[in-house]
Structure 1
Amino acid sequence: MPEQKIEQLEAQLNDFDRTARDKALQSLIEATRGTWPAPVPYHVNMHCHTFYSYNGYGASPAMIAWRARKEGWGAAAICDFDVLDGMDEFLAAGDRLELKTAVHMETRVFFPEFATQEINSPGEPGVYYFMGAGFVRTPPEGTPEAETFHQLRLASERRNRELLQRVNDYLRDCTLDYDADVLPLTPAGNATERHICEAYYIKSKKVFPERQQWTAFWAESLGIEKEKVDSLYDNPPAFSDTCRSKLMKKGGPGYMQPDAGTFPTINEVIAVARSAGAIPMATWLDGFSEAEQNLEELLKTQTAKGIAALN
């Protein structure tokens, strides 16, 4: 198959239409089977975000599986925030590509035993980044775990809409509509702060069509030098990182300090993981927070809850 056709099919792997992705993957497999490199056992990436939460390259589960096999990875795993939307597609693609795969999920929880201490979310006492590793299904319908899992998505959307309103109020001259500007950037409606930043990038190019206008607006809004802003003009991922840091994180106009009711408890999400065949997994930041400095107490508390792995 000509290389140009291969590239066209690879681009189709990121289509928001699952049927289009499946057809593209099948065509790629038929055209290239027998040319794939032997997997390298320790050449792995077990924490790939897909476009179901956010991927800077817009990569679908099928694309990640394809690239992993094409490049000879020994194994690959996807890990999206709050959802398992890519699970079936990724596991199926792994089977078709003879690739070892796993599906993880990442979310934030409230850790009552460390309610007054920073753990792995800087500036947010009691808030904890948590993972489930090796999901093979979603929680059984009609169970408390299924309801907790469902609420992860709903709560994330509610926080996003509230954040967007605060940032809109601050920017004034460049505002977004969540439904019209943000959700179309997602394949299944699970937007993140990065999608919101991407939407601001797109909208601001329309509101300020001249580069000089665009640069002046964002220099003032973000509180950074025009030269720095100008370097972001043709670099959407870098713009999103800067926008998110300045407008949505602690100290920014869009930020709202979380409390004990913002996220589900760690026990509730551990139950979600177990009900879906996954391993409850602790996550580690850098060892400098108050809780992480007291490593023995932290690990004892985690293992007592049934957490069985550390990322």
Structure 2
Amino acid sequence: MEKELISRLNAPLKDQRLEALKSLKKLVDKGNIVLPPPKGFTNNHVHTKYSFSPYSPAMAVWMAVKSGLSTVGIVDHDAINGAEEFIEAGRVMGVPTTIGFEVRTDWSGTALKGRRINNPDQITNAYICAHGLPHTQIAAADAYLKRIRAAREKRNRAMTD
């Protein structure tokens, strides 16, 4: 039963994933699943299926709790789509969450042109993270990120067409 519920944490629909997580939490509360105690560690740079991970937001929170994290944060590339599910999954599991996003920036017109900043694969580009986004600003962040996703899609299409 536990394995089936864990596999459903990556179900197609958010409601299905959260229901599976709630069922897992009930098993934890009954003592049927033993989780490690929080170890005082935090990972506020977790990607989900909305960027570079196979995990849904619910699965990411489950894995964080199974790893003994005390706090966990979502930062998908160019996306905030998983934030609400991530927050709810944190509530279900009783682990504090943070939300944010990560974008790739071009520093061509600056003194950093030609330098390797924090992207190991490219010069002149850097990753920038926005952490601690207020929950009331998810829609505004998504509106901002839509333009970035559209530009990325255009670049990707140009490479594949």
The TM-score normalised by the length of structure 2 is 0.83
Q: 1:32 matched to which residue of 2?
A: 28
Runs of at least 4 residues of structure 1 off by over 6 A? none
**1:85-108, CA deviations, whole angstroms, 9 ceiling, x for partnerless residues?**
110111111111111211231111
**1:142-166, CA deviations, whole angstroms, 9 ceiling, x for partnerless residues?**
xxx765422011112112222222x
Sequence identity percentage? 29
Q: How does 1:43-58 map to 2 (within 5 A)?
A: 44-55=42-53, 58=54
Mapped to 1, the partners of 2:47 and 2:19 lie a distance apart of 22
Check if 1:116 corresponds to 2:119: no
SS of residue in 1 equivalent to 2:156: helix
Bigger-Rg structure (1/2)? 1
Root-mean-square deviation (CA, aligned residues, Å) is 2.1
Aligned residues: 153
Mapped to 2, the partners of 1:47 and 1:27 lie a distance apart of 26
User: CA separation of 1:133/1:29 partners in 2, compared to 1, >3 Å: closer, same or farther?
Assistant: same
Mind listing any 5+ residue stretches in structure 1 that lack a counterpart? 166-311
Once the two structures are TM-superposed, the CA of residue 113 in structure 1 deviates from its matched residue by: 2.8
**1:184-212, CA deviations, whole angstroms, 9 ceiling, x for partnerless residues?**
xxxxxxxxxxxxxxxxxxxxxxxxxxxxx
Higher-strand-fraction structure? 2
Question: 1:39 touches 1:74 (CA, 8 Å); kept in 2?
Answer: yes
Check if 1:93 corresponds to 2:89: yes
Mapped to 2, the partners of 1:60 and 1:23 lie a distance apart of 13
Higher-helix-fraction structure? 1
The TM-score normalised by the length of structure 1 is 0.45
Question: 1:77 touches 1:104 (CA, 8 Å); kept in 2?
Answer: yes
Mapped to 2, the partners of 1:117 and 1:139 lie a distance apart of 35
Q: 1:63 aligns with which of 59, 65, 79?
A: 59
User: CA separation of 1:49/1:68 partners in 2, compared to 1, >3 Å: closer, same or farther?
Assistant: same
